[in-house]
Structure 1
């Protein structure tokens, strides 16, 4: 009898899930494999974790994409890891989560995490970060989103840039549940610009919540940016996980095949 869920998924999807890592949601990314050696490889995680790295530096006049802001608005690295029960997300950024949202003072707060089911450019779901200035919803809430806010930049501001593909904050939606989230304080010593200040977000949510939001096991993007959208970052987890009912049917089917095989070989 096959007991390993990852092996069951591999047989039916052709994709082997990585061995489940022990991840504690505490804002410390050491258990993701993130290092503190002061070089570019610090951002490379453990095997099996999908990631995007775009670490930059500089002052507020430094160009990012599609806007400016240097280290203070740098979306540095985004990570995603899927087990048979949870989605884990981690973000490294130079943007202080407590940055006030005061556009008249050229200051923009932290955005929410957005998820695009099916990679079609529509972000159906959001995870609400909920800093002090945010008037919508509850902190750590997973929402089926009805309306997004967007950043400062219009279509074509940068090559291929489409405003609709870069949501910044949830304005309206339906609360589906609460994610586990931790945000670190300021940290230094990471990456090739080791004197830069970094902040880390870490999130865990059950796959059941994603299914409640309409996810059918297909590919999806995770997106994050600030309210100005001066620098965005996207990661697309590569593993397709069947729905819970499908897993049960697979398990029962494999158990049946194993039982029949044992019965035949007993004669």
Structure 2
């Protein structure tokens, strides 16, 4: 049910920068309660898809969602804690892993998948102010706990279940106070209401995400009313290959100079 389409894969000859663009379509449901893909108003919560672009080791992840125009809604449904601050439903953090292992069947939207049964997320990009309507700064964390709940707050931590129907058990925010998470980098995020997307940009240099041949993603707003997961093929040029490529270009340039002399 989840499909992946490579929109473009361009590698410029002799360049040390590889540019890729991918799309993950949102057909993932995860742990459900009989309400289908989106719980509640689709005009507020629907997630359409993810585009990923790469320049060297710098990732930009664009999540297309109607929620960009509705951050802060339903402040009467959030829990009365410092975590939610009674500001309403907010942007969730972006979770990543070098493998995607959802639980359940693709043709039903992985209905058995939740924090305890699905992919073990190994990195998370945490937002500085998730209620911001414009964006801000962020930090990339390595998630070292044995289970997702050791490293992440769930939708249950943000929503008061006595008054609201929402998707339970979804990882929505990095638990930065946990002893099992470690900050490994910084970045930024941007809310683009014109194009209907929230963008996350950060460097994955030095992370284990570079060691595999794919990167998996997970994102949802703090209530989890719509959640998107999926993976893209991923690779970066080996440093040795880049060095050989640069040497080859230098030789070509030298020959051209000699021929024109």
TM-score range, shorter chain: 0.5 to 0.7
Structure 2 CA distance for aligned equivalents of residues 101 and 132 of structure 1: 17
Structure 2 CA distance for aligned equivalents of residues 110 and 101 of structure 1: 17
Change (3 A) 1:180 1:246: farther
1:211 to 187, 191, 205: 205
DSSP-derived class of the 1:215 partner:
helix
In the alignment, is the contact (CA less than 8 A) between 1:81 and 1:237 conserved in 2? no
Counterparts of residues 54-93 of structure 1 (less than 5 Å): 54=26, 63-65=35-37, 67-93=39-65
Structure 2 length-normalised TM: 0.57
Q: How far off is 1:224 after superposition?
A: 0.9
Quick check: 1:97 aligned with 2:71?
yes
Structure 2 CA distance for aligned equivalents of residues 177 and 110 of structure 1: 20
Q: How many residues align?
A: 193
Q: How far off is 1:254 after superposition?
A: 5.0
> What residue is the counterpart of 2:220 in the other structure?
225
**CA-to-partner distance for each residue in 1:56-79, whole Å, 9 max, x for gaps?**
xxxxxx944263342212112211
Q: How far off is 1:226 after superposition?
A: 1.4
Counterparts of residues 96-175 of structure 1 (less than 5 Å): 96-99=70-73, 100=75, 102-103=77-78, 107-120=88-101, 121-131=119-129, 139-146=137-144, 147-152=151-156, 163=169, 166-172=170-176, 173-175=181-183
Q: Please list every run of 5 or more consecutive structure 1 residues that lacks an aligned counterpart in the other structure.
A: 10-16, 19-47, 56-61, 153-160, 191-198, 263-267
**CA-to-partner distance for each residue in 1:1-59, whole Å, 9 max, x for gaps?**
xxx964469xxxxxxx55xxxxxxxxxxxxxxxxxxxxxxxxxxxxx52113449xxxx
**CA-to-partner distance for each residue in 1:78-126, whole Å, 9 max, x for gaps?**
1101233421211221122344584259953221011111334221111
Quick check: 1:237 aligned with 2:254?
no
> What residue is the counterpart of 1:194 in the other structure?
none
**CA-to-partner distance for each residue in 1:198-237, whole Å, 9 max, x for gaps?**
x42123223xxx1323223421112210122121113423
Change (3 A) 1:89 1:233: same
Quick check: 1:183 aligned with 2:214?
no
Report runs of 4+ in structure 1 exceeding 6 Å deviation. Answer: 255-259
Q: How far off is 1:177 after superposition?
A: 2.0
Which structure has more strand as a fraction of its residues?
2
Structure 1 length-normalised TM: 0.56
DSSP-derived class of the 2:39 partner:
coil
DSSP-derived class of the 2:208 partner:
coil
DSSP-derived class of the 1:72 partner:
helix
